[in-house]
Amino acid sequence: MKQFFKMTLATVCGIVIFTLIMGFFLVLSLLGMVASDSASTKVKDNSVFVLKLDGTIDERAESGSVYDEVLNMGDMSAMGLDDLIASIRKAKENENIKGIYLEGGIASFDSPATAQQLRDALKDFKKSGKWIVAYADQYMQASYYVATVADKIYLNSHGMIDFKGLGGKGEYYKGLYDKLGIKYQAAKVGKYKSYVERNTLTGMSDYDREQRTVYLNGIWNYWLKEMAEGRKVKVEDLNKLANDSIMAFAETEDYVTAKLIDKVMFPEDIKAEIKSRLKLEKDDEIHQLTLSDMLNVKSKKDDEGEKIAIYYAYGSIVDNSAMDLISGGGHNIVGKTTAEDLRKLADDDDIKAVVFRVNSGGGSAVASEQIRHAVKLLKAKKPVVVSMGGAAASGGYWISSPASYIVAEPTTITGSIGIFGLVPNFSGLVTDKLGITFDGVTTNKYADYETDLVLGKDNTEIMQHMQTYINHGYLEFLDIVAEGRGMKPAQVDSIAQGRVWLASDALKIKLVDQLGSLDDAVKKAAELAKLKEYHTTTYPGKADWMDMFLSKENKGSYLDGRFQKELKTLLGDLYTPLMEIRQIVKDDSRIQARMLDDIRVK
């Protein structure tokens, strides 16, 4: 009887706790709906949009925490370029918003093109006649580039600007692997296909140095031109400042002398400056709108006309969703899922055209081909225009190639037409150092080739077969691009070889059709579909906080995405290369169409 009462009490307690938890989330949901409804009506007259250039800025922001999403508390440390551009556009068209205040300057952008697109959106905002003012305690280089669009740039009296040009050093692990007794075996096609080099060399190859020099100088020259225009100085003067940056700015006032900023001031001074622009009295409150607020402000743009779908494909291209965890909890392009989504868009008669937004350095060749085939089937039914983001290279170019038309940002990195296979051999560690040996029987010569490949002392013959497979894959890649771009395979080969190209150079060799923004791609899609009136809808939809909470993928442990975000913040620039190494080792697809390592800018 005592045990019965224990069980009954435990059951009752469980029901009560479950009811309380579900009630709590029901209340949060109601609060979220109320907050969402009310936020759309709270743009007060004489308001300012406060845009903080802090945190990380990626192609799209993943859903935030319960507090961010439901209670709308503060701003977000992880921002999506799509949200930023949409908010800036709404601020431009809303007559109650008088200007934009850019605050902070240590944002980390996922690519130079991301910074360029944000700056372009702000530049477009100024066409409305409204003002932009920037202030920071310090500016990292990419944030300063964005801030140069402002009418005025101010800096804290003890602040600094990171202004030194683009570049840096990557990590090469061969020396470490040699000490451990590990040897990475690479089979590749393309003399510029440099992804494997950090595992097989101790330094940069001449070919990799060549391609990096060309595209980095291209991006820097583009930035210099825009910054010089924004600050009303000469390009050569800015470049000289970058060369002399270590010695040129001993005191904060030196930035004023160099015309990098307009004035040095304290935080209370910038507050007075904004009040002056809003024609407020000293004690008046400044009506501020954060990015979180702007996302819930209704746009004047209605949904009349035909529908154009914008499908976002960003991150590494992988074979299955299990790779999300292996790659560090970041967003991936899953071959099967993306192909299925594109087939649904093809069958949706309400959608008249599709803009395929690609921001990817590639990944699995198998998944890339799966997606490419789906894009080809989609194009047979309606126009497909690719909009390239920060990168659409290797596998990212593979999936872009069959489109009706390709639009790329001026600083997009594309091309990298080449493939490779990368396999570690642990025999030096396992057998030579640890003394573990292997023996067994097989019915056929290659029945246990996987073990021979990663643990065998002599696997030359197997690697030769792998190289033959890679060679065939490269020829297939050339045929795919040739078909999509209306070229001959030999023409493609002459500009391929795994080389990455800046979009401004890729335009000259027919890898892209136009330099332009996502909006330009949408306009082209409407033109090809012969639409006079149209609106856009984005796919796939973002998961909200409740989806994330209920998802079986989110275990609530250190293995889930929340920990990965913290790890990303902790490791900084080291996060991406470490996660890529982890992914390439774990990936089921041995054949990779992946560009050189990720390029993040600060």
Contact status, residue 353 vs residue 586, Cβ threshold 8 Å: no
Contact status, residue 144 vs residue 249, Cβ threshold 8 Å: no
CA angle 510/513/517 to nearest 5° reads 140
Contact status, residue 539 vs residue 312, Cβ threshold 8 Å: yes
Q: Are strands 514-515 and 332-334 parallel, antiparallel or unpaired?
A: unpaired
DSSP annotation of 321: T
Question: DSSP assignment of 256-324, as one string?
Answer: HHTTS-SEE--HHHHHHHHHHHTT--TTPPPEEE-HHHHTTSPPS----SEEEEEEEEESEEESSTTHH
Contact status, residue 337 vs residue 321, Cβ threshold 8 Å: yes
Cα distances from 20 to residues 14, 23, 69, 441, in angstroms, run: 10, 5, 21, 61
CA dist., res. 78 & res. 88, Å (int) = 17
Closest CA to 132 of 88, 168, 182: 88
Residue from 90, 188, 193, 382 carrying the catalytic annotation:
193
- Active-site residue 127, yes or no? no
Closest CA to 424 of 174, 171, 594: 174
CA angle 582/583/587 to nearest 5° reads 130
DSSP lists the bridge partners of residue 100 as 49, 132
CA dihedral of residues 492, 398, 393, 111 (deg, nearest 10): 150
Rg (CA), the chain: 27
Non-local CB neighbours of 87 within 8 Å, separated by 6+ positions: 49, 51, 291, 294, 295, 297
Dihedral sign (CA 259, 261, 265, 269)? positive
Residue from 87, 394, 416, 427 carrying the catalytic annotation:
394
CA dist., res. 23 & res. 595, Å (int) = 48
DSSP annotation of 194: -
Closest CA to 54 of 72, 77, 82: 77
Q: Can you read off the two tokens belonging to residue 449?
A: 């080739």
Contact status, residue 599 vs residue 500, Cβ threshold 8 Å: no
Closest CA to 485 of 544, 576, 402: 402
- Active-site residue 589, yes or no? no
Contact status, residue 449 vs residue 462, Cβ threshold 8 Å: yes
Closest CA to 535 of 212, 305, 294, 199: 305
Number of H helices and E strands in the chain, helices first, is: 26, 23
Contact status, residue 598 vs residue 361, Cβ threshold 8 Å: yes
Cα distances from 123 to residues 85, 133, 291, in angstroms, run: 11, 12, 18
Q: Can you read off the two tokens belonging to residue 102?
A: 């850019």
Active-site residue set: 193, 394
